[in-house]
C-alpha cells in the first residue's frame, strides 16, 4: 500500500494538532476505543477504514485483529498522520495506508468491509452528509461501527469556554461562534443512519466521565484535546494562556476537581448486502 493525500477540497473546519502531546495524553480515548474494538465482527482478513485515526494508538490494536487484512488510516491532520506513520509503519508495513482527507470527501467507493471510528464524528457538523459518504465507501454488507461525543458531552466545559470567549478582550476577535462540535443524540443518529440507507441502525449515549490526576494533566488535556479549536481563534500567546488559565481555575473548583463530564455516542449500521 502507498501513502497518498487526497486533493479533495476541505469541507469542515480545520486546525493542526500537537500530535506528540495527543499521543501521550489520549488514554481516555484509547480506553473508550477498546470497548468499540470489542464490538467489531472481524474474521481477520477484512479491509477496514479507520476514520479519524489520530496518532494510531487504536489503529495498532485494530491491525492486531487483522492478520490477513489491512487498514486505511484517515485523518485531516498532517501532524496526526505523521505521528501515526512513525508509530505503525515499522511494525505493520504496507498493511496500513495513510491518507490525509476530510471525511466528507473520502475518495473511496465500495472500498471497505468496515468503517471504524472513535472520537471524531462530533468534529463534523453535517452528520447526514457524513453518513451518506460512509455508506458509499462500504462494500455491500459492510458495517459502520463508531463512537463519538454525544448528548450532553462536556457541556460544562463547552459552556464555560464560550462564556469566556464572549467577553472582551476575546469577543471582538473570536466573533459570533458557537464552538466546533456537534454532539448528536441517539434518536437523531438512528434516523440519520436510516436515511443514508443503513439497515440495523442502532445508537445509544453512555456516561463516561474522566477525572485527571492533577492540575498539570488537566491543563495539557484541555490545551491539546478539548480546546484547540478555541485557542486557534485567539490571536497572541498571552491571551491564549490567560484563557487556559481561567478554564483550569474553574476546573479546579469542580467536585471532583479536574473532571471532564464525557458522554459517548455509540452507533452502528450495515449497508444492505443486496441492493436493488
Domain range summary for the chain, segments of one domain joined by +: 1-7+15-150+185-209+261-276, 155-178+212-259
Q: pLDDT at position 275, please? A: 75
Which H or E run contains 140?
strand 138-149
Q: 207-211, long-range: CB within 8 Å, 24+ apart, which pairs? A: 207/262, 207/263, 208/28, 208/32, 208/262, 208/263, 208/264, 209/259, 209/260, 209/261, 209/262, 210/28, 210/259, 210/260, 210/262, 211/256, 211/257, 211/258, 211/259, 211/260
CA distance 249 to 151: 25
Alpha helix ranges (H) inside the chain: 19-25, 27-37, 57-64, 78-92, 127-137, 155-165, 171-174, 186-196, 215-221, 228-232, 237-252
Alpha helix ranges (H) inside 44-77: 57-64
Q: pLDDT at position 152, please? A: 98
Smallest Cα–Cα separation from 269: which of 153, 150, 181, 137? 137
Grid coordinates given for 18:
500537537
Q: pLDDT at position 15, please? A: 79
**Which residues, given as ranges, of the chain have pLDDT below 70?**
1-14, 276
Contact criterion met (CB below 8 Å) for 87 and 114: no
Q: pLDDT at position 274, please? A: 86
Grid coordinates given for 194:
436510516
Give residue for cell 463512537. 147
Q: 214-222, long-range: CB within 8 Å, 24+ apart, which pairs? A: 214/258, 215/248, 215/252, 215/258, 217/25, 217/258, 218/248, 218/251, 218/252, 218/257, 218/258, 219/244, 219/248, 220/21, 220/25, 221/25, 221/260, 222/157, 222/247, 222/248, 222/251
Q: pLDDT at position 47, please? A: 98
Grid coordinates given for 25:
495524553
Q: pLDDT at position 5, please? A: 37
Rg of the Cα trace of the chain?
19
Q: pLDDT at position 11, please? A: 44
Q: Quick count: other Cβ atoms within 10 Å of Cβ 187?
A: 10
Grid coordinates given for 120:
471524531
Superfamily of domain 1-7+15-150+185-209+261-276: Vaccinia Virus protein VP39 (3.40.50.150)
Q: pLDDT at position 216, please? A: 98
φ, ψ at 212 (rounded to 5°): -85, 165
Amino acid at each position: 500500500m502507498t501513502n497518498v493525500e487526497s486533493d479533495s477540497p476541505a469541507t469542515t473546519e480545520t486546525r493542526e494538532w500537537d500530535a506528540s502531546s495527543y499521543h501521550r495524553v489520549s488514554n481516555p480515548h484509547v480506553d473508550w476505543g477498546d470497548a468499540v474494538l470489542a464490538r467489531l465482527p472481524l474474521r481477520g482478513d477484512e479491509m477496514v477504514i479507520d476514520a479519524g485515526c489520530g496518532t494510531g494508538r487504536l489503529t495498532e490494536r485494530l491491525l492486531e485483529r487483522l492478520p490477513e487484512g489491512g487498514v486505511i488510516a484517515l485523518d485531516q491532520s498532517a501532524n496526526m498522520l505523521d505521528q501515526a506513520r512513525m508509530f505503525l509503519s515499522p511494525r505493520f508495513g504496507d498493511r496500513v495506508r495513510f491518507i490525509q482527507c476530510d471525511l466528507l470527501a473520502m475518495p473511496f467507493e465500495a472500498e471497505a468491509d468496515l468503517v471504524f471510528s472513535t472520537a471524531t464524528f462530533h468534529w463534523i457538523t453535517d452528520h447526514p452528509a457524513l453518513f451518506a459518504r460512509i455508506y458509499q465507501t462500504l462494500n455491500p454488507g459492510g458495517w459502520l461501527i463508531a463512537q463519538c461525543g454525544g448528548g450532553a458531552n462536556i457541556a460544562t466545559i463547552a459552556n464555560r469556554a464560550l462564556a469566556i470567549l464572549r467577553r472582551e478582550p476575546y469577543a471582538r476577535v473570536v466573533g459570533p461562534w458557537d464552538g466546533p462540535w456537534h454532539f448528536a443524540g441517539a434518536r437523531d443518529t438512528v434516523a440519520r443512519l436510516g436515511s443514508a440507507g443503513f439497515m440495523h441502525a442502532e445508537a445509544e449515549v453512555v456516561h463516561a466521565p474522566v477525572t485527571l490526576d492533577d492540575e498539570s494533566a488537566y491543563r495539557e488535556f484541555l490545551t491539546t484535546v478539548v480546546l484547540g479549536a478555541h485557542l486557534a481563534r485567539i490571536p497572541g500567546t498571552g491571551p491564549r494562556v490567560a484563557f487556559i488559565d481561567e478554564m483550569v481555575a474553574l476546573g479546579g473548583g469542580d467536585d471532583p476537581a479536574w473532571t471532564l463530564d464525557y458522554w459517548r455516542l455509540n452507533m452502528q449500521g450495515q449497508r444492505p448486502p443486496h441492493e436493488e
